[in-house]
Structure 1
Amino acid sequence: MIALQDLHKSFGDKQVLAGVNLQVGQGESLCVIGQSGTGKSVLLKCILGLVQPDRGRITWNGRPLDRAAFMAGFGMLFQGAALFDSMSVWQNVAFRLRQRMSDAKARAIALDKLARVGLGAETADLMPAELSGGMAKRVGLARAIADDPSVIFFDEPTTGLDPIRARAINALIRDIVTQTGATAITITHDMDSVRAIGDRVALLQGGRIVHDGPVAGMSDAPELADFLGVGVAK
């Protein structure tokens, strides 16, 4: 569904992406891992059009990326949820919907999506400041799926959460991706998230993808030893 071919990006003298090649299929859940500062977020921003790559190609369904059509069909769970402080929970969830339908209809859809992430109607009129970290993540997830996107991006979905809430969010993301059939790309360094969410895992290192394989086979990949916390015989 999405393919990156020989993607390069530098900022001044610092080369961040040095020829990234990566594909993700329809309905597949791909996790991109890497140490801090290796360019995971830059890679995501290139796909979203927030950063223009220096060279390389991004295709969608085998064709050059139609930015307007792509942006209309994606959802995003931001790191830290990134809710609008001045809007209520339902207004955050329905942010995109309210641009093309009545508030009454948008609110009804928002309540449905909130229910899908385990939040009752009583949370709809709360403000973001009244939410716990786990609740804010759930609201962010509800917003990501509000418009039934074909592609969902997750940027460090469990950052700042304790292990119990992190496991709950991981399970929720896996269920939603499975139920909706959406293509998912997750940027993370949390291997528990990779195991829970991903079908495939790709390691970004030195500006390139140095490992790309099924999550089920991670333990056999020497490139992932540091992330898995295991020693690999040499």
Structure 2
Amino acid sequence: MLVVQQLSHTFLSGTEPTQVLSGIDFRVEKGEMVALLGSSGSGKSTLLNLMAGLMKPTEGSILIAGRNIEKMNENDLAVFRRSHIGFIFQSYELIPHLTVRENVELPLVFQGVKGKVRRERAISLLSRVGLAGKTELFPSQLSGGQQQRVSIARSLITEPAVVFADEPTGNLDTKTEEEIIDLLIELNMGHGITFVIVTHEHEVARRTKRIIQLRDGRLVDPDIQAGEGA
């Protein structure tokens, strides 16, 4: 599903190289829910950008759905991301002048899916994430937790191979955080959706099935077993 092999990355600051990732090896199987845990400066944001194909690694390989994404050109990567990778963002990244349903439909617009099919799939997904009856509202009419549910539905609309969730509860209060993680667990266990949740919060990481922990650009232990989400 997702295989990261001997991944290293170095930034150049002037003429001085700074290595931010070194020798990263792990795999995420189809249907897993894994936390990528690390504090600020650990390298987790860089690793996420590499896995999402937003940056090219200095060394190593990244396979998603059997494809080496680090070998793709920008056009092929854009097409691949649209079909195989879903994103959930900390700040939701919803388009304010589009309705909830239209925000969820948007990835299918870029795939050329017909309007009736887009609408039906979006409404079905919004119902699945607990937003039935709110499809024609605008993001500003929703709470933060509800906006994140829209973001989750949008991430699933293309039936991606893997969904990357970047600090998905970072803007939420404790109760809403628990509700969102409960929803992700339900989607993972009930529908087999593969999630990689990037977080600095141990409480969030412990809800997943497995923790991949980064410290100073290296893996601490790629096989830490988490608890409640398993």
Q: Which residue of 1 aligns with 2:216?
A: 206
1:152-171 aligned at under 5 Å gives the runs 152-171=163-182
Give the direction of change, closer, same or farther, for the CA distance of 1:61–1:72 in structure 2 (3 Å limit). Answer: closer
The secondary structure found in structure 2 opposite 1:75 is: strand
Residue 89 of structure 1 aligns to which amino acid in structure 2?
A: V
Deviation at 1:61, TM superposition (A): 4.8
Query: Is residue 38–residue 206 contact of structure 1 (8 Å, CA) maintained in 2?
Result: yes
Residue 71 of structure 1, CA deviation: 4.3
Partner amino acid for 2:222? D
Query: Quick one: which of 136, 141, 154 aligns to 1:143?
Result: 154
CA deviations on 1:37-69 (whole Å, 9 max, x unpaired) are: 211111011011101111111123555336444
| 1:221 counterpart residue number | none
Could you tell me which residue of structure 2 aligns to residue 115 of structure 1?
127
Cα offsets for 1:162-190 (capped at 9, x unmatched): 11100000000000011221221110112
Matched residues in 2 for 1:192 and 1:145: separation?
24
Q: What CA distance in whole angstroms lies between the structure 1 residues aligned with 2:82 and 2:157?
A: 14
Which residue does 2:11 correspond to in 1?
11
Is the contact between residue 48 and residue 71 of structure 1 (CA under 8 Å) also seen in structure 2?
Answer: no
Q: Percent identity?
A: 34
TM-score by length of 1: 0.85
Q: 1:183 aligns with which of 185, 194, 199?
A: 194
Structure 1 distance, partners of 2:96, 2:24, is: 36
Give the 3-state SS of the residue equivalent to 1:160 in structure 2: coil
Task: Call closer, same or farther: CA 1:168–1:22 in 2, change over 3 Å.
Answer: same
* Partners of 1:93 and 1:110 within 8 A in 2: yes
* Alignment partners' CA distance in 2, 1:205 and 1:53: 18
2:53 counterpart (49, 52, 61): 49
Paired AA for residue 212 in structure 1: P
1:3 partner letter: V
Cα deviation code 1:67-102 (max 9, x no counterpart): 444541221111211111222111110111223223
For residue 214 of structure 1, report the CA deviation from its aligned partner: 3.9
TM-score, normalisation: structure 2: 0.86
Aligned CA RMSD, in angstroms, stands at 2.0
